[in-house]
Structure formats: C-alpha cells, structure tokens
Amino acid sequence: MRIPFLFLFLSFVLFGSTTAQALVVGREGVTYSIKEQDFLNVIEARAANINMAELEKTIQESLKEQTYSFRLQDGVQNIPPATSGSQYRVDLTYTVPQDIKDLHGNIIYPEGHKVNPLKVMADRGMNYPFMLLILNGDREAEIEWFLQSQFNNPRVKVLITNGYPYKLAEQLKRPVYQLTKLIMTRFRIQATPSLVFWPQKTDYLAVRTIAVHETKPENTHAEVQP
C-alpha cells in the first residue's frame, strides 16, 4: 500500500527532527537598523530618577486617606437624633426555615420551629456581657456626651452611623464599628444615641434611646442593668 505524498510531508513537518529550530531562507529587500532604545534600558533609566523615599511617602499618604474614608457599602447614615429618652424591647425569636440537623443527621430544630437564641443561651447558663452603643460619628454633641458618660468603657461596643470608623477610632482611642442595615433592622434602631443591652434574667434585648442636646446632655449617668 502506497502512502500518499501529502501524508509523508505532514509527518515530516509534525514529527521530524526536534533539533531543527528554524530554516534560514535568505535575506531579501532593504534592511534597516533598529534606532529605538532598548525597553529594559528605558525602565532602568527612569527607575534611577525615582525618589523612593518620596514615592513611599506618597503611597502611605494615599493608603491612610483611603483608610480614613472607608465605609461599608451597606453602612447606615442619617438616623435622626433622639428627642427624648425611651426604652423598648426587641424579640429575637425567629422561625427555622428548614430542618437543622447535627453531624449525625438528627433533627435539632424542625422546619417551622420558633427559636429564641437568648432563651437558649440563658437556659445553658450563657450570657452576653457587652452592650452596643449607636452614635452619630459626625455629631460633636454625641461624641462629647459619650466621652463623659459611664458607657465609655470596654464593655460597650461603639457603632456609628455618619462619620468614618477608623478616623473616630483614633480620636476615641478605642475600636469603632459601622452600623449596618441588617443590625439597624434587626434591633429596630430609630435614633442616636441608642444603647442595646440584654437585661438580666430576660429572653429579650432592650434598646434605650438617650436624648443628647447641643448644650447639656440628658441623663448622662443613667443607670443601666444589663
């Protein structure tokens, strides 16, 4: 059986000697020398003219500015200030959307079951010793009130609406977080300042709004029994 010439030619091209890299076919036409500078030489020349100390300073200032102005996309702003003090309950009970099982497949909570996480924690002897305080970070009266109040202690976690968390954290010398839409909705935050805490021997959260006026804050040393 004769193998077609075309098949032999393709076999030679595809599977021929691996040592051959290129075939010189000659030189035709007019040739010109390359006048452009070598790209690596251009990079080296420009790098030599860069003030590294100044560049590092510029980068640090840019990063600092971005950090200072950082806010979460779902951050909440423009909650009105409280005009009077009030307190209300927040029930965290929710309905289980589907069966919750343990590692062995046993159903812990069936679909449709109502669960109150605070009651579960209380039944197991657990508690949450911290409180949340929601402030308007751009309202000077609220910041001054906070600094002079009993709530300026490690047990209180500060969340802000307006303002920038990192910048305020430097001013207050403590961690500052941002109020998100989820927390605002779940805890029904309606005004600032709002204090969220877990009263002893209860299965609900309490939210207390505190009226802070521009000249004299109301009830700065209000007693709270978490």
What count of other Cβ atoms lies within 10 Å of the Cβ of residue 92? 15
Say how many Å lie between the first and final Cα of the chain, rounded.
Answer: 97
pLDDT at 20 > cutoff 80: no
Residue 161 tokens, joined: 């609406």
In 34-133, which ranges are continuous DSSP H helix?
39-48, 52-68, 117-123
How is residue 105 written in tokens?
A: 């497949």
Spatial separation of the C-alpha atoms in residues 49 and 51, rounded to whole Å: 6
Band (35; pLDDT cuts 50, 70, 90): low
What are the angstrom distances between the C-alpha of 208 and each of 75, 87, 101, 151, 155?
Answer: 21, 4, 37, 13, 16
Residue 13: per-residue pLDDT? 47
Spatial neighbors of 83 by CB under 8 A, at least 6 apart, are 191, 211
For residue 185, the model assigns a pLDDT of: 93
Say how far apart CA 221 and CA 112 lie, in whole Å: 43
DSSP 74: T
Q: What digits encode the pLDDT tens for the residues 178-204?
A: 999 999 999 999 999 999 999 988 889
| The pTM of the whole model exceeds 0.95 | no
Residues 86-121 have pLDDT tens digits of 999 999 898 888 988 888 889 888 888 898 888 888
Does residue 137 have a pLDDT over 90? yes
What is the structure's pLDDT at 181?
A: 92
When pLDDT is cut at 50, 70 and 90, the band that residue 62 belongs to is low
- pLDDT for res 118: 87
CA distance 33 to 31: 7
